[in-house]
Amino acid sequence: MSSITYRGGSLHVEQVAVDDIAREVGTPFYCYSAGAIRARYEAFVRAFAGVDASIYYAVKANSNLAVISLLADAGAGVDIVSGGELTRALRAGVPAERIVFAGVGKTRDELSAALHAGIGQFNVESGAELELLAEVATGLGVTAYAGLRVNPDVDAGTHAKITTGTRENKFGVDIARAPELFDRAATLSGIRLESLSMHIGSQLLDLSPYRSAYLRLREMTCMLRGAGHRIDHLDLGGGLGIGYDGTMPAALDAYARIVADTVGDLGCRLGFEPGRFLVGDAGVLVTRVLFTKPGADKWFVIADAAMNDLIRPTLYEARHRVVPVTRADARAPVRRCDLVGPICESGDYIARDCDMAVPDGGDLLAILDAGAYGAVMASTYNTRPLVPEVLVKANRFAVVRRRQTVEEALALERVPDWLADRPGGP
Ligand code: LLP
């Protein structure tokens, strides 16, 4: 991503030196480029110029209020999956009609809150949810606009934990059940089911699964129309991948061609739900090296960021590139290194078997492509407070989430009085 580059040997996010941010906020921290996010969004819009298309940013990828707000200002809607994300989206200024609510397990309270807010669409993932949504909407005297998430039985060919479109899957309903559910919806009050949605998986670089999936969507759209149902909107999901190894992200023009070839002539409004593609390579996680030590065959670089801050490497075997914030001396010998954190688990690593000059204690390292599914998936395991997030725009930066304190984390907990009564208690 050209917004994250070296200038005079020092890593910059846009025009701000990462070093300067570290001095002010401490480490570890996440840092995002507003310009890079905006540019990606605009490229997406351009790819579908002339098409009746809406982009619903999947806020699960990075739900910081500032990030949502910058995309909302650019014109994006959002895809949410919880009542918490609904509150965030509204707080960030996303107009309710530009919100799409997905997810297999929406509660009555969440459906009710979203109906109160007047969101644009619910992507319903089961017959039982359809009934509940109709009931809640009828009770409130409103109409829910809904789409049915169908499962096309297409393997997205990505990591097993992020593929969602195969047949036996908790997401959506088997596409063959769509006619039955549309028939049922037609008899319910409070709901208008006029859309189909799908999302086959995440981090797709080979786009051919989209073609197969969208062809199935096309087939079902025609079949439902033939049975007298109105389908005026297709939500094509997210999933476009980025080049974690430094190669190019998924090709937007090729993707747009697949969309045009498969569902372009159906006269439907189209919705897209990109997450990672918009924010993934616009962010870095910055960490400070604490110690280094030689192992049997490689070096261990022990840093202050850990699996609780970035879980992707250990959860998905994801490989994120690691670069020094101050460019290493080109003559320094390159060694095989594991970048690990202080957590008491051998699964606590950020990068394994990467070849780099062994840094010194105190050096800063940047973990690239950490803008998506980074800060949002962090935990406080080992009582490590959540780290700050920083947003850069041109030559300015702001802390858009401050560092949590240990006291704040502990404030949620209490020791019950009756514990003192236990045998052997104080
Ligand atoms: N729409 C739906 C219904 C989804 O479930 C997802 C992601 C998206 C859109 C956005 O997908 P994207 O464009 O970001 O690929 N934590 C994993 C990724 C989980 C994706 C979950 N669903 C990771 O770090 O790779």
Q: Which atom belonging to ligand 1 lies closest to the Cα atom of 273?
A: 9
Ligand 1 pocket, 61 CB below 6 A? yes
344 part of the active site: yes
- Look up the pTM and report it: 0.96
Burial degree of 199 (CB within 10 A; 0-12, 13-18, 19+): buried
* Residue 237 beta carbon below 6 angstroms from any ligand 1 atom: yes
Neighbours of 208 (CB within 10 A): 12
Q: Mutation test of ligand 1: which of 99, 148, 197, 202 has the most ligand atoms closer than 8 Å to its C-beta?
A: 202
Task: Select from 156, 157, 173 the least CA-distant residue to 165.
Answer: 156
Give the distance (Å) from ligand 1 centre to CA of residue 377: 12
Return the SS3 of 16.
strand
Distance CA 310, CA 378 (A): 6
Q: Cα separation of 337 and 354, whole Å?
A: 5
Question: Which of 60, 252, 279 is the best mutation target for the ligand 1 pocket, counting ligand atoms within 8 Å of the beta carbon and taking the most?
Answer: 60
| Rg of the chain taking only CA atoms, in angstroms | 23
Q: Is 273 in the pocket of ligand 1 (CB under 6 A)?
A: yes
Reply yes or no on whether the pLDDT at 2 is more than 90: no
Q: Catalytic: which of 31, 268, 337, 344?
A: 344
Closest by alpha carbon to 367, among 275, 279, 260, 288?
A: 288
- What are 379-414's pLDDT values in tens digits? 999 999 999 999 999 999 999 999 999 999 999 999
- Indicate if the pLDDT at residue 108 is higher than 80: yes
Tokens standing for 310? Answer: 């970035």
Could you tell me which residues come within 8 angstroms of residue 2 by beta carbon, excluding any fewer than 6 positions away?
36
Confidence of residue 325 (pLDDT cuts 50, 70, 90): very high
Q: Please give the distance, rounded to the nearest whole angstrom, from the Cα atom of residue 296 to the centre of ligand 1.
A: 38
pLDDT for residue 1: 60
Calculate mean pLDDT across residues 131-151. 98
Nearest CA to ligand 1 atom 3: 199
Q: What is the DSSP string of 184-246?
A: HHHT-SSEEEEEEE---BSSB-S-HHHHHHHHHHHHHHHHHHHTT----EEE----B---TTS
- Return mean pLDDT, the chain: 96
> Between the CA of residue 424 and those of 19, 36, 287, 298, what are the distances in Å?
52, 59, 44, 49
In whole angstroms, give the CA distance from residue 3 to residue 7.
11
With a 6 A CB cut-off, is 162 part of the ligand 1 pocket?
A: yes
